[in-house]
Structure 1
């Protein structure tokens, strides 16, 4: 190829690469009233819009009902449907019929299932729905959900009941660590038997079939005002993200969830913040150097091309004295990220460090460690001394005898 042509091609490539790339950010086109995109490692918020705004908790009530039920009862337990439970909209549960807890959990998670939610609340609350609601609010406090308050297990409108997109994401982050919840949350369908009628319950979150990597989801329908809440998790590139979207349109809720995932998976990377067993700090304890390491790999999520670290500080354990073992926290590394996330990493001595020994201490340790041997040696020394003294007396006696002759 002509050298001039090659030169022109190279020049064009360099010129094109010199233009700035205008990356899409969610804020430019999202119509949703409230959204959160969160990573599942530390709960870092990768994007938020009105994340703490108080909203109708329809989907949140069902999620919390499922989690509390899973934690407090047996999946195989039989639930008898009451007249009260059957009066709610849902799957047309029949009064007096029995369903397993597991069946009702799938009904709550894959469909709106208000009747199933009430049936579970009655069963776990020993017939008292308000007792179950207290369980829900106690769990919310345990998870530090500061913008959530429950009045019923269904999510049907109550003026004093509310949640936020951020709290929903935090609940999902905690709940998916429970394997049973994670399996049900990730179900696309479930075989449903209602008396003599059988059907397939299909997850109402259609992103399971339209977005690569979706591994969990639920759709909520809010009546006051009319809106939809899509709660979805997806896994790509070795990281799992949570998206919570509130929108007046079901289709927009799903499409904008997909946009959030595109943004999160393409613009953020999950990697090691602190590798295990690699010295991070060195300290002196009683004038002896001690190297400190983390016992685990510590991960965090950050924008591609940016360390995302605002500040690093270190706090030494001032109470340390020699010897230092590998089980005692010797110090804490504190990372503050640009999104104000704080990550504290416990550091430990990379090996047991003992105090340096002087000559007397070494002799003492040798004697202590070899007591039996030292006892034998002592006895032999004593015997040898006795023999020497005996022989000395014999010599002296013979010498004296010789002089007197």
Structure 2
């Protein structure tokens, strides 16, 4: 009997976190932010309310509308909302950009109403949120409002929320805001309440959320060695602990691998009018990247398709770039690997006849 119990315990220790009961969430996922690969999931396709993590979409729609430095006047209707607030005051003037900071850092529901109002009106703005969800292929997501307060038609899944976050993190403005621990704007001192920014190595955002119906919702991300992991938990009473463990799980999938060694051949270049007519291209340095099993980065050479003689070995050719999921993993310089002298010019037929006749 003891042997059976021990065997069961060993088996459970080898199971994914969900099977071993270590994740407290109703729904969860660990997603590779570059490739979209899933390293862990728990009820990841169940439609659930997502509270203020809604504001990830509110922010992206606002950013993509542009004109972030436009100033506007706060209307009374923007201030009439319950829950978390950036304390907008009727008649106050501030920019869309400052309001974005209040939306994401202070989780201001009033900021969400202001951005929707200034982004074409509530109904129109929410329609844009749903259109963006459709554009991104988020077919199990629907928005009723820009702030995330409970509503029957307001839901997403852990999988689709992670995909949305991965998309949002590709935007420089969004990434700057959610990765900042503090900020001053519009006469306000803002502090980011995302604990992971202070406690987890490489954490870079993104958004917390809570309502009674949704429970504690959290979207987090971290970057290490050029790789980004996105974690989502919905209705998780112990989300901070779970996210640290799930981020660790994500990063455990990677190992450092060589991409090239200094001096290795990475291509060739045609030399017009040269001898030889083709010269090798050599890597200027050793490059490595953190990769998961089976990943093959795309190799892109940046330089001329051809050149003219003479060419000198070790002269600068251009750059080599290794890309994965549309982002750069590593890059370095490339040099010509051999000389190519200018070929002797061929004489014309008339020149050869004259030389034959007259010596």
231, 236, 248: which one aligns with 2:224: 236
Please tell me whether Structure 1 or Structure 2 has the larger radius of gyration of its CA atoms: 1
Residue 102 (structure 2) aligns with: 107
Tell me whether 1:26 sits opposite 2:12 in the alignment.
no
User: 1:268 is paired with a residue of what secondary structure?
Assistant: coil
Instruction: Provide TM-score, normalisation by structure 1.
Output: 0.61
Matches of 1:228 and 1:237 in 2, distance apart? 30
Q: Where in structure 2 are there 5+ consecutive unaligned residues?
A: 1-9, 268-286, 297-304, 307-324, 326-344
Instruction: Provide TM-score, normalisation by structure 2.
Output: 0.68
Deviation at 1:222, TM superposition (A): 2.8
Deviation at 1:375, TM superposition (A): 5.0
Does the 8 Å contact 1:205/1:230 carry over to 2? no
Change (3 A) 1:277 1:98: farther
Change (3 A) 1:237 1:74: same
Matches of 1:139 and 1:39 in 2, distance apart? 21
> Which gives a bigger RCO, structure 1 or 2 (Cα 8 Å, sep 6+)?
2
Matches of 1:375 and 1:299 in 2, distance apart? 60
User: 1:182 is paired with a residue of what secondary structure?
Assistant: helix
183, 202, 211: which one aligns with 1:222: 211
Alignment of 1:188-227 (within 5 A): 188-193=181-186, 198-223=187-212, 225-227=213-215
Change (3 A) 1:30 1:57: closer
Matches of 1:101 and 1:177 in 2, distance apart? 20
Matches of 1:36 and 1:264 in 2, distance apart? 10
Matches of 1:130 and 1:273 in 2, distance apart? 52
Change (3 A) 1:301 1:161: farther
Does the 8 Å contact 2:17/2:23 carry over to 1? yes
User: 2:245 is paired with a residue of what secondary structure?
Assistant: helix
Tell me whether 1:259 sits opposite 2:248 in the alignment.
no
Matches of 1:236 and 1:187 in 2, distance apart? 17
Q: Where in structure 1 are there 5+ consecutive unaligned residues?
A: 1-18, 280-296, 313-324, 327-340, 342-368, 388-405
Alignment of 1:381-400 (within 5 A): none
58, 63, 68: which one aligns with 2:61: 68
Residue 148 (structure 1) aligns with: 141
Residue 55 (structure 1) aligns with: 48
Residue 32 (structure 2) aligns with: 39
Does the 8 Å contact 2:256/2:291 carry over to 1? yes
Matches of 1:206 and 1:375 in 2, distance apart? 84
Change (3 A) 1:22 1:253: closer
Deviation at 1:111, TM superposition (A): 2.1
Residue 349 (structure 2) aligns with: 374
User: Aligned pair count?
Assistant: 281
Change (3 A) 1:263 1:374: same
Change (3 A) 1:237 1:191: same
